[in-house]
Amino acid sequence: MPTDAAGDRPPVSQVPNFEQVAPGLLRGGQPDADGIAWLEAHSVRTVIDLRGEGGEGPDNQAIAGAWKKARCHSIPIPDMNPPTHEQVEEFLRLVDDPGNQPVFVHCKAGIGRTGTMIACWRVAHGWDVDEAIRQEQFFSYAGSFAQESFVREFAATRILP
């Protein structure tokens, strides 16, 4: 399992904006072929692709086909848009299922959509919403006003388990 130790990270060119969020949860941008190999060598079981359909470079299906071992799930969110509550709940179910871990979640750059979902995950796990958003700013969080507003609304309305 990857750690935050500098010696156990994929090269930035292979997995941009990589981070181990928590045990069993990794995040980043769209990995290249070497990044996929690195992640699979580090036992990633499940991949959650947040990219919207079309218009984001290589075909999503072709990239999903590059994974040899991991199960791929698509939760398509158009760039700069917030997810729906249903998409966040699906994301949380996938990430929090120990049978799926380790999970790698990504969008194209690993910033806006990925940051929004990770902030929601943190809120669902008891983080203060401001701290969850502040943590994403470490990655130059480029979340749109709509994405940040969604995280705040999610925090205000979600009943913690």
Q: Is 72 a catalytic residue?
A: no
Q: Which of 15, 39, 107, 119 is catalytic?
A: 107
Instruction: Using only the alpha carbons of the chain, give its radius of gyration.
Output: 15
Tell me the Ramachandran region of residue 108: left when phi exceeds 0, alpha when psi lies from -120 to 50, beta otherwise. alpha
Q: By the 8 A CB rule, do 29 and 110 touch?
A: yes
Q: How many CA atoms lie within 13 A of 44 on its CB side?
A: 28
Q: Which residues are catalytic?
A: 107
